């Protein structure tokens, strides 16, 4: 059986048109990305996964409420915020938090690829300090910092996540995933700020 990373939907394959980022494919890629960390076992990444899953569910709920008006993430947001959400912006708020969490994870994994000598917890700590810490309540920060220390060693991470597959192939696929995710996040960050919908 092929390793999970070879069958999961990649962010590199999420269609982007003039109308925006395809909602259904983005949700699938996000779900597959989060589920990949289940391979590490023991809820090692639970502090990230729980937040991401909750926010994926919030965006998915908004999509299911108004699928015809939400073919892209941009249209989902504009429809919800311009009267289609009955005064609520729950889907939009979830999208902002989801993008923030995905960006944190993206930057941590990119850091892991670029600094081959750094342990995984160091890569996640660097990303946390820049991407998440400023947006978290003061009392939550120490909890997340402790959770980051519990991530596996670099060697264990690769062994579990590749499931016996090629580390080089995983790195190549991960590079594509992260590049695809970066395009999506940067596009949506600009869209959200310019529209006054939120800040990632």
> pLDDT tens digit string along 135-187?
766 777 777 777 777 778 888 888 888 888 888 999 999 999 999 999 999 99
Q: Which residue has the higher pLDDT, 190 or 140?
A: 190
pLDDT of residue 86 exceeding 70, the answer is no
Residue 58: CB atoms within 10 A of its CB come to 18
Mean of pLDDT over the chain: 88
pLDDT of residue 43 exceeding 70, the answer is no
pLDDT of residue 84 exceeding 70, the answer is no
What pLDDT is attached to residue 72? 98
Q: Which residue has the higher pLDDT, 89 or 63?
A: 63
At 92-119, the pLDDT tens digits run 999 999 999 899 889 989 999 999 888 8
pLDDT of residue 131 exceeding 80, the answer is no
At 2-25, the pLDDT tens digits run 888 889 999 999 999 999 999 999
- Rounded to two decimals, the pTM is 0.89
Residue among 192, 171, 5, 9 nearest 100 (CA): 192
Q: What is the mean pLDDT of residues 27-53?
A: 83
Of the CA atoms within 13 Å of residue 51, those in its CB half-sphere come to: 19
Q: What is the mean pLDDT of residues 122-127?
A: 85
Residue 72 near residue 63 (C-beta atoms within 8 A): no
Question: Could you tell me the pLDDT band of residue 33, with boundaries at 50, 70 and 90?
Answer: very high
**Rounded alpha-carbon distances, angstroms, from residue 22 to 11, 59, 135, 144, 188:** 11, 13, 27, 31, 12
Q: What is the mean pLDDT of residues 177-198?
A: 96
């Amino acid at each position: 059986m092929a390793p999970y990373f070879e069958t999961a939907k990649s962010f590199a394959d999420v269609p982007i048109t003039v109308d925006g980022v395809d909602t259904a494919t983005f949700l699938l890629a996000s779900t597959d990305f989060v589920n990949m960390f289940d391979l590490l076992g023991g809820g090692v990444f639970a502090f990230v996964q729980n937040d991401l899953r909750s926010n994926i569910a919030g965006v998915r709920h908004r999509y299911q409420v108004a699928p015809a008006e939400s073919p892209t993430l941009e249209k989902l947001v504009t429809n919800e915020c311009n009267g289609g959400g009955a005064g609520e912006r729950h889907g939009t708020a979830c999208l902002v938090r989801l993008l923030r969490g995905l960006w944190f994870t993206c930057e941590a994994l990119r850091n892991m690829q670029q600094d081959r000598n750094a342990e995984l917890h160091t890569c996640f700590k660097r990303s946390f300090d820049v991407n998440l810490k400023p947006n978290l309540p003061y009392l939550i920060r120490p909890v997340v910092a402790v959770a980051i220390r519990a991530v596996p060693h670099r060697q264990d991470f690769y062994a579990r996540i590749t499931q016996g597959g090629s580390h080089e192939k995983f790195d190549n696929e991960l590079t594509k995933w992260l590049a695809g995710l970066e395009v999506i996040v940067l596009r949506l960050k600009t869209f959200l700020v310019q529209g006054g919908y939120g800040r990632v």
